[in-house]
C-alpha cells in the first residue's frame, strides 16, 4: 500500500514542492489537507485533487487514516501541528526551522522519542549522498577531534527578507508571504529562514552540541536580519565562526561553504565549486564525488526520504528531531544575543 499523507498549510512551499513531490512518488498519495483559509483550501484541494479538506490539523488527524503529515505552515505554527501529529502516532515532516523556540524544539524531540515516530526536517543538503560521506569521515575519526568550524551561507533573497515579492516565484500558485519571511515578530529573517540549512549540515556531519552564541546582525528594511555574524561555542570546547547573508545577486545563486578543523585534519565542503575534500595532517586525504549539479538544492530529496520512513523502510533520517532541536537552540540563542549584545547560553 502507498504511504497516505496529510498536508498542513496550503501555501507557497507546500504547493510548489511538497505536494508535487509526494504526488510524483509511485508509493505515496496525498489524501488530506488542513488549511484555515477556505478559499485557499478549496483551490489547492481542487488543483491537486486532494479529497480530504479540513479547516485545522486537529480535525484532519481525527478522521483521516494517515501514515505521515507534512507541515508547511508559517514558522511560528510548526510546533503545534508537529506535536499534534506525534500525539496521534503519525510521522511528521516539519519545515525548517523545526520551531522558533528552544523549548518547543526540545518538546518535539521528546515527543518523537516517546511516540516512537520520526520527525524529519527537510534540509535538503543533509540528504545528499556526499553528506553521509562527510559524516562518516568524522565518525571514523579521520580528522580526529573536531575543534573548530567555519560555516558561511548566503542566498539571493534580498527581496524576500525586505518584504518584497520573491522574484523567482512570479509564476507560482502562491508567493512567500512577508508575514513569514520579513516580520521580526513572526520569526522572519535570514537566520530562521536560511541558516537553519547550514546549521543542520554542520550538526549532521560534526555531531556537535551548542552551548552559547554571540551574534551581531545587520537589518533589512523591515527589521529582520539580512546579515548575521556569530561565534558559537560548543560543549567540549570546540568553536564555530558562523556567517549568513541574504543579499547575493540573483544571478549568482546560493552559497554554502563549511570547513571543519580537527586535531588530525580537516574537511572542506563548498556547493558552488561542488567539492568535498578530506585533508589529513599525515599528508593523506581524499575527495568525495559530487556529480555536476548535485551541489544545488533539491527539495524532493527530503520528501522522498519521508515517504520511505512512512512505509517503514530501513533508511536513515539525516535531519531528525535531535538535529532540528540543535539548530533551533542555536538560532534561539543567536537572536537573543543579537538583541542583547552579549553572549547568550543555549536554553
Q: Which of helix, strand or coil describes residue 170?
A: coil
Question: From CA 179, how far away is CA 129, in angstroms rounded?
Answer: 35
**Coil/strand/helix, residue 265:** strand
CA distance 158 to 167: 10
175: CB partners within 8 A, 6+ apart = 12, 165, 166, 169
333 contacts: CB under 8 Å, gap ≥ 6 = 102, 210, 212, 213, 344, 345, 346, 347
3-state secondary structure of 17: helix
**DSSP letter assigned to residue 273:** T
Reported as a single tens digit per residue, the pLDDT across 183-215 is 999 999 999 999 999 999 999 999 999 999 999
Q: What pLDDT, on the 0 to 100 scale, is given for residue 156? A: 98
Angle 176-307-305 from CA coordinates, rounded to 5° = 80
Report mean pLDDT in 10-residue bins for the chain, 347 residues: 97 97 98 98 98 97 98 97 98 98 98 98 98 98 98 98 96 96 97 98 98 98 98 98 98 97 98 98 97 97 98 98 98 98 96
Query: Which residues contact residue 52 at a Cβ distance below 8 angstroms, ignoring those fewer than 6 apart?
Result: 6, 31, 32, 33, 60, 63, 64
What domains does the chain contain, in order, with CATH numbers? 3-123 (3.40.50.720), 125-295+320-345 (3.30.360.10)
SS3 135: helix
Task: List pLDDT tens digits, range 135-163.
Answer: 999 999 999 999 999 999 999 999 999 99
| Interatomic CA distance for residues 48 and 218, integer angstroms | 40
Cis amide leading into 135 (omega within 30): no
User: 308: part of which helix (H) or strand (E)?
Assistant: helix 300-310
CA distance 13 to 174: 8
CB 121 within 8 A of CB 98: yes
Contact partners, residue 344, CB within 8 Å, separation at least 6: 212, 213, 214, 333, 334, 336, 337
133-141 long-range CB contacts below 8 Å, 24 or more apart? 133/276, 133/288, 134/205, 134/267, 134/269, 134/276, 134/288, 135/204, 135/205, 135/207, 137/267, 137/278, 138/205, 138/206, 138/207, 138/260, 138/262, 138/267, 139/207, 141/264
Amino acid at each position: 500500500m502507498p504511504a497516505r499523507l496529510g498536508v498542513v498549510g496550503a501555501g507557497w512551499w507546500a504547493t510548489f514542492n511538497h505536494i508535487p513531490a509526494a504526488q510524483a512518488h509511485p508509493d505515496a498519495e496525498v489524501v488530506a489537507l488542513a488549511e484555515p483559509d477556505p478559499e485557499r483550501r478549496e483551490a489547492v484541494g481542487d488543483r491537486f485533487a486532494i479529497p480530504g479538506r479540513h479547516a485545522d490539523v486537529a480535525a484532519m488527524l481525527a478522521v483521516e487514516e494517515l501514515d505521515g503529515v507534512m507541515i508547511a505552515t508559517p514558522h511560528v505554527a510548526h510546533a503545534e501541528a508537529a506535536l499534534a501529529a506525534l500525539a496521534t502516532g503519525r510521522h511528521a515532516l516539519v519545515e525548517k526551522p523545526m520551531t522558533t523556540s528552544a523549548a518547543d524544539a526540545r518538546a518535539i524531540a521528546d515527543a518523537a522519542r516517546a511516540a516512537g515516530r520520526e520527525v524529519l526536517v527537510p534540509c535538503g543538503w543533509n540528504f545528499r549522498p556526499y553528506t553521509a560521506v562527510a559524516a562518516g569521515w568524522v565518525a571514523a575519526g579521520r580528522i580526529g577531534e573536531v575543534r573548530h568550524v567555519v560555516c558561511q551561507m548566503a542566498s539571493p533573497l534580498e527581496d524576500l527578507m525586505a518584504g518584497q515579492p520573491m522574484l523567482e516565484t512570479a509564476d507560482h500558485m502562491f508567493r512567500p508571504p512577508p508575514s513569514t519571511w520579513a516580520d521580526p515578530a513572526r520569526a522572519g529573517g535570514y537566520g530562521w529562514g536560511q541558516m537553519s540549512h547550514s546549521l543542520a549540515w554542520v550538526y549532521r556531519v560534526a555531531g556537535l552540541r551548542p552551548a552559547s552564541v554571540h551574534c551581531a546582525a545587520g537589518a533589512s528594511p523591515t527589521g529582520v536580519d539580512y546579515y548575521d555574524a556569530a561565534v558559537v561555542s560548543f560543549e567540549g570546547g570546540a568553536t564555530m565562526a558562523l556567517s549568513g547573508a541574504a543579499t547575493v545577486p540573483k544571478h549568482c545563486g546560493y552559497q554554502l561553504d563549511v570547513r571543519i578543523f580537527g586535531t588530525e585534519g580537516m574537511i572542506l565542503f563548498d556547493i558552488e565549486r561542488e567539492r568535498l575534500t578530506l585533508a589529513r595532517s599525515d599528508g593523506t586525504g581524499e575527495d568525495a564525488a559530487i556529480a555536476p549539479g548535485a551541489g544545488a538544492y533539491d527539495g524532493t530529496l527530503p520528501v522522498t526520504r519521508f515517504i520511505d520512513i512512512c512505509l517503514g523502510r530501513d533508511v536513515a533520517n539525516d535531519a531528525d528531531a535531535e538535529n532540528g532541536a540543535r539548530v533551533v537552540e542555536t538560532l534561539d540563542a543567536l537572536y537573543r544575543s543579537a538583541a542583547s549584545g552579549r553572549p547568550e547560553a543555549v536554553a
